Amino acid sequence: MLQARTTVFAAAAAVLALCQPAFSQQPAGSDKQICDVPADSALGLEDYPTTIKLHRRLLRSHPNDALAHYHLGFAYGMVGRIPEEIDEYRMAAALGLDKWDLFLNLGLGFAERGELSNADSALEHAVLLGPDRAETHFNLALVYEKEHRLSEALREITISRRLEPQDPDELNTNAMLCAEMGDFVCARDLWTHLVQTAPGYSPAQANLAILSRTTNTDAPSLDGTAAIAP
């Protein structure tokens, strides 16, 4: 069996917009983004139990704070409380927060639960909001692959590779898609290129060995870029 990347879905840590002091200057009665320095400091320090406690306290007094719901959802996700994570992301979106990283994380939460239809809807919206973010295209490609929508997956991984051409996970995924679509020469060349440029990346070595044992790949070598040609 071909080896996928080490983690199935790319983590979206470090994409949260932490509260800024300017938020405290919102008009009286506005719950859009209430600044809470201790709560966001805990999040920045990756102290997720404290983050959860402080954001829940903040939301008791400001239940319509979309950013606080987002941060609480992120903290829930980081401690494995996925259903609560998804609920908070949905609340943040319902309150008007429309950010690419929110919908990326929402899609990742759905994907982790195996809810692929919900995952691709969220990730498609993340792509619309963040078309220049490689992780949106990459994770959408992974979901499409799981749904056996291989042409669409190849399209998204192609875009992702253009945005981050040196990422070995993206190149490995591109090669896997080529193999699944029956283009073994393309897969062989991409994995060969990856083995040469990232010799410590074990999935490429394993996949190339599997491909060599199970297919005839004596065709002339491509230059490793066929799968990303326009």
**For residues 69 and 113, what is the distance between their CA atoms, to the nearest angstrom?**
20
**15: DSSP letter:** -
**For residues 213 and 26, what is the distance between their CA atoms, to the nearest angstrom?**
64
Taking only the tens of pLDDT, the chain with its 230 residues reads 333 333 334 444 445 655 543 222 233 334 456 668 899 899 989 999 999 999 999 999 999 999 999 999 999 999 999 999 999 999 999 999 999 999 999 999 999 999 999 999 999 999 999 999 999 999 999 999 999 999 999 999 999 999 999 899 999 999 999 999 999 999 999 999 999 999 899 999 999 999 988 875 443 333 333 332 22
**For residues 155 and 151, what is the distance between their CA atoms, to the nearest angstrom?**
6
16, 101 in Cβ contact below 8 A? yes
Tokens at 36, concatenated: 């809470």
In the chain, domain spans: 165-230
69, 84 in Cβ contact below 8 A? no
Kindly calculate the radius of gyration of the chain based on its CA atoms and give it in whole angstroms.
21
Q: What is the pLDDT of residue 18?
A: 59
Q: What is the pLDDT of residue 169?
A: 94
Cα 151 to its chain centre, rounded Å, is: 19
69, 59 in Cβ contact below 8 A? yes
**For residues 154 and 200, what is the distance between their CA atoms, to the nearest angstrom?**
25
**226: DSSP letter:** G
Q: What is the pLDDT of residue 102?
A: 95
Cα 4 to its chain centre, rounded Å, is: 15
Q: What is the pLDDT of residue 216?
A: 58
Cα atoms in the 13 Å half-sphere on the side-chain side of 58:
26
User: Cβ–Cβ contacts within 10 Å for residue 1, how many?
Assistant: 6
